[in-house]
Structure 1
Amino acid sequence: MRAMIVDDSRATRAILGRILQELGFEVVEAADGRQALERLADASPVTLALVDWNMPVMNGLEFVKAVRQDPTNDGLRLLMVTTESDIDHMVSALEAGADEYAMKPFTAAVIREKLDLLGVTVQEGRS
């Protein structure tokens, strides 16, 4: 399965990428929402996207809205992974079409738990 990490922080992309690869995902990265939309169009099917809120060019909320407007992305699971801890931000993200919400800082266990909640199958024993 393929997962996309959309975050302007190279360090965060590396950490999330390592977690996802240990769970058996092939990882695609993007530094902002616009780049992520381009990669979604170019890449073979992506099952999951982990999306930061605060990014230049196109932020995470704008990305979520754009993804949900395109019916070809109907099966894509969206997990916001962000420092935005305000309940209004969480509600806005979920209303826009995010499937789940995790706050930074996160642990590998939190990411695995969120993937379980999303029903995304991961390889057992690879964590």
Structure 2
Amino acid sequence: MKIPHNAHVALVDGTRFLVLRNSGQPFEPSLQLVAEPDLDPTNFSAGIRNQEPSAPGGASTNLNELAHGAAAAEWLNSKAKAGEIEHLVVVADPKTLGEMRRHYHVELKDRLAGELAKSLTGEPIPSIEKVLAAA
């Protein structure tokens, strides 16, 4: 995956949110931790879609985790609207990524350099760099 120099990389899952920055080349990322924002997940709008007794495919849905994804998207939206993010790559588990997409502001969409539906928040940075380079 091509990650522009100085692009932000958001690693998100249902409980953790990390913001990294690429100081390396587009196809050879070198990531540094920028922030681990403390989010206040208050947007439980996913509950409207997930009131069925069982989720499709038998997968369980945790509304707190989806609200965390929505809060991460809102945080990224605010940074994009403020001009603090020029290019962004979002890496999140598939369920969180799906929820985040519902909350992307047009300013954030314009800055997206890529997305990867994979859970990497618990991985060390060198492993994340390898996965992104190979994507």
Q: TM-score range by the shorter chain?
A: 0.3 to 0.5
